[in-house]
Amino acid sequence: MTPEAVYLDYAATTPVDPAVAEVMGRSLAEPDGVGNASSVTHVFGRRAAERIERSRAAIAALIGAAPEEIVFTSGATESNNMAVLGAARANAYRGRHIVSSRIEHKAVLDPLQRLQKEGFAVALLSPDRRGRIDPAAVAAALRPDTVLVSIMLVNNEIGVIQDVATIGALCRARGVLFHSDAAQAAGKIPLDVHAAPLDFASITAHKLYGPKGIGALYVRGEARAHLQPIVFGGGQEGGLRPGTLPTHQIVGFAVACDLAHHSLAAEDARLAGLRERLWRGLATLDGVHANGEGAACVPGILNVSFEGVEGESLVTGLRELAVSTGSACNSASAEPSYVLRALGRDTQLAQSSLRLSFGRFTLPQHIDLAVDAIRREVTRLRALSPAAEPARRAPDGVTGEAGGPGQEAWVRFTLHVREGVVNGALFKAYGCPHTLAVAAWVAERLRGRGRADLAPGTPAEWAQALTVPVEKLGRLLVVEDALADCARHWPEQG
């Protein structure tokens, strides 16, 4: 974490707690860390196995499981794949219908797509506008051939908590297996997998101040016979997940779970206060929407959409903050969040969202800095947008624009013309950082140009000069079209 940036992306991954790092370092350096837990014929292997089993018990205690119900994996993505693919394939003889939701993590949705190619039918339920999956909708979607329901406990983008207790009870009554992606829930809210009731639950260390690369799948004892492995090559973890167990990661995972278990109530109250402080600071801006508002949420996530700003430009301007526009798995894409679209947000509002997530090392002053930075950038981008003021024709000039409200780019030029050439140029623009940069760059180069040679080059040349990615080239055509509109409205006296 660099000192010049405040880290507010805890939902993507949490910093490793110093106590976790310390025990992992000792595990790697001490003689007890030498052995392979599968090598029980000598003392080094037996010591590693003992440490792993003690750790397994600590991890199980966090979620109310028995130690033997914990299967180690590389993380929640693998756990989700194991639960969805493994349970569906193991029970295909009973039926090929699965129920899930449109707001699941890609680590569930992508395996479901794989199963559809294998002949399974998948029903994806839509949330209400607050992000909740109605248990009645789950009940209505169940069929005689339904073998699995997968509904995440806490949504990774908006933090909404689903009613897995009710869903689990109706699945149990119908003899349907129930899985939940609990990666954002474990260590954040009280969780008892037996009371839920769940057959499978996915958790991961790096969401609760542990190391990356280690997670677990809770497998209810009675449900183990209904799960088959998806990876092969050894007999570890009861034959469900082969591979040499990483002792140092597992002991770090256990310490992280133990710390979370003992600080859960106090940390919940503290983070709830920070979330309220953050929302109060942002809510006074006009056109601000808290996504998931009105539903039960974990306290460490606040997802906010801002009218009249482009999300990528907003994040780019927030150089003092480390934040996300959505889930980490999709943060490299300019596409609007599919979770927010499922809630009913329009494309532009979904694309303008920020996911602000915080945790153990977040302080009140970090929240205040975030409020000031976000208010500054939202105000700046709104003032820069053509929506900020109506187009006006200057007495000695011309106005031209392209794009418009609701589109991914909107550019307006106002040119002051004297004796047939541009004497000065102003611009307004809404769009990605590259659109804004090119519009500004072009405006600086319009002085002295006439109607016949108004455009200083082509969009391809602009892209090369400003290192614009090829996938953004289409947006630069809007800049070119705005200049063409200026030429069409060129004053007669010019």
Which residues, 6 or more positions from 113, have their beta carbon under 8 angstroms from its beta carbon? Answer: none
Contact partners, residue 147, CB within 8 Å, separation at least 6: 87, 88, 91, 92, 94, 95, 96, 97, 98, 176, 177
Q: Is the alpha carbon torsion for 300, 194, 239, 116 positive or negative? A: negative
Q: What are 116's two structure tokens?
A: 């559809």
Is 329 an annotated catalytic residue? yes
How far is the C-alpha of 80 from the C-alpha of 215, rounded, in Å?
A: 10
Nearest to 58 by CA among 187, 184, 180, 165: 187
Classify residue 249 as exposed, middle or buried by CB count within 10 Å of its CB (0-12, 13-18, 19+): buried
The answer to whether the CB of 94 falls within 8 A of the CB of 147 is: yes
Residue with the two structure tokens 């056109």: 287
Rounded Cα distance, 171 and 97, in Å: 13
Identified catalytic residue from 257, 329, 432, 486 = 329
Q: What's the rounded Cα separation, in Å, for the pair 381 and 442? A: 19
How far from the centroid of its chain's Cα atoms is residue 312's Cα? 14
Catalytically active residues are: 329
